[in-house]
Every structure is written in structure tokens, then in C-alpha cells.
Amino acid sequence: MIVEDEKCYLCGKTGELHRHHCLHGSYRKMADKYDLTVYLCPRCHTRLHDMGEYDRDLQEMAQVYFEGRYGHIEFMRVFGKNFRR
């Protein structure tokens, strides 16, 4: 996705960053293929994985981004799940 890799997508902190797959688990390889990732600082990344903070927001954002390029039908064909609320 078109996001900066020099600061945390959630809090804006710079320094050490982790690449986070917005669609993870069984969707991880396809998230890589379509670049559905953002960069997070260790604190935000841990909070996301341990407490689920912002997880749904990032999933929805990834779907909106994908659909803007390829359409909803293609998203459902590739991922088979609707993440939009």
C-alpha cells in the first residue's frame, strides 16, 4: 500500500519498525503479493497482536485499497471474505 516505511502507520514514531500484514494468517501470502502491509513500531505491533487494537481497521483499509485497484469481485475471489463493516 502507499504508506511511509519511515514511521509507524498508527502512532507516527520513527526508529525500529516492523512490517505488518494487514490481512494475516492464511491470507499472509496474498497480502504480500498485493502489498497489503504497513509499518508499525514495536509497541503498536505488539498491541495489535496481543490486544487486537486496530486490527479490524487495518483489515478494512487493506480491502478498500485492493478494491480501489482491482474491484470487489476480485477481492472476494482472492480472499473469500469481506472485511468491510
Q: Pick the closest to residue 47 from 36, 62, 32, 57 (CA basis).
A: 57
Q: Rounded CA gap, 14 and 70, in Å?
A: 32
Q: Spell out the domain ranges in the chain.
A: 18-79
Q: What is the mean pLDDT of residues 23-27?
A: 93
Dihedral sign, Cα of residue 61, residue 37, residue 68, residue 81: negative
Q: Taking the model in full, what pTM does it have?
A: 0.88
Q: What is the pLDDT of residues 10-22, one digit of tens each?
A: 999 999 999 999 9
**Chain CA centroid to CA 12, Å:** 16
